[in-house]
Structure 1
């Protein structure tokens, strides 16, 4: 049953990977087989060392359509991120079956900022299977605090005063308060914070473009916020990524209160608000937030 579940997860994300790398060469290459079984982390790590070298070597083989320097980096990082996420699935599969020892407690936080496949709830559930003396140890408390911090961000319900104090700039140069966006009477507002130079951010743009037509935009408004310093590079990135949602420059960028008070782990980062301007969820992973928003169909994001 477990193998079938992970086979489904792998199949689903292979399909999503085609969205990530649409019209690129070699978009079906997968180096991490999540159906494998390992009895210990030592053998898993040996497997990962070999596969990791293959991944990095493959990521340097840039398709002709990604010949430009910045786009080449975007492609390489996208390949690496996807394979690392598959490894995270395999890591947690192994952690669940082996003896819960203190030396393995930090593995729970692996790839915590960027994993789309292993949620915070998955991590907390695994953490709670460790013996009490390990969970309450110095290292256990550090891991617990990190998990709790992410969990709080995902389940946060609080008014955010920095929305009304934040200003954005449109592509035509118009400047106005970010809070004005809430006048469109939507149920949800999803802010995607990124930058043209951030490869993982561009990676998520491609994913969102691929499933955008499945989202019920009558109930949710999606807004891209860039912290770019160079306006021309921001506009070029928007043209290249052909984003189907509204995009703005965040005035003040990474120094703005909206950014410094909400984005603790860097970009990409996503903030989900309700119509009352309350922050109801936030995370580095866009896919985790997509589980919480209205869709036109019963599409599930695993």
Structure 2
């Protein structure tokens, strides 16, 4: 019986460590993941190093995400000329609904999709458990704030 408990405990610890390693932590670098854009091209996340980057996980069916999109559009329009990029990553499973939301919300910043919901490769890599979730990277591609405020984003842009 003790042997079974040891096996269960070992498996549980292995699971906990593998899940924990799949989550972005402060100090981690912008990952080299490639995703399809709304322009039907493949985009690599790490190609944005050199800019302040806000990675925004969202979905067309997420009400709070759609409200946040309004603020992100204004923020991007105000700061896009200052080496600032917003990368929207949708975890929609329906590409047509995603594309419709991109158009309706008038999002001109980079839009990508990883269409497997919360099981999407990027959502797992970042440790996304709720939407919207945002990750702020400095110009060196280092994660500096998870779910930053608008003030934190602007302060980083203006550094």
Answer yes or no: same fold by TM over 0.5.
yes
Aligned to 2:37: 170
Aligned to 1:287: 150
Please state if 1:195 is matched with 2:46: no
Aligned to 2:97: 233
Q: 1:189, 1:274 within 8 Å by CA — same for their partners in 2? A: yes
Equivalent pairs counted in the alignment come to 135
Greater gyration radius:
1
Give the CA RMSD over aligned residues. Answer: 2.6
Q: TM-score, normalised by structure 1?
A: 0.40
Please state if 1:180 is matched with 2:47: yes
Pairing of 1:77-156 with structure 2 (within 5 A): none
Q: 2:118, 2:129 within 8 Å by CA — same for their partners in 1? A: no
Which consecutive unaligned segments of at least 5 residues does structure 2 have?
A: 1-23
Aligned to 1:14: none
Q: 2:57, 2:89 within 8 Å by CA — same for their partners in 1? A: yes
Please point out which of 88, 100, 108 is paired with 1:244. Answer: 108
Per-residue Cα deviation, 1:56-112 (whole angstroms, up to 9, x for no partner):
xxxxxxxxxxxxxxxxxxxxxxxxxxxxxxxxxxxxxxxxxxxxxxxxxxxxxxxxx
Secondary structure, aligned partner of 2:156: coil
Which consecutive unaligned segments of at least 5 residues does structure 1 have?
A: 1-152, 296-302
Please state if 1:262 is matched with 2:126: yes
Secondary structure, aligned partner of 2:134: strand
Structure holding more strand per residue: 2
* Alpha-carbon distance in structure 2 between the residues aligned to 1:226 and 1:264: 12
Q: TM-score, normalised by structure 2?
A: 0.70
Please state if 1:274 is matched with 2:143: no
Per-residue Cα deviation, 1:153-177 (whole angstroms, up to 9, x for no partner):
8xx532247x11x221012322243
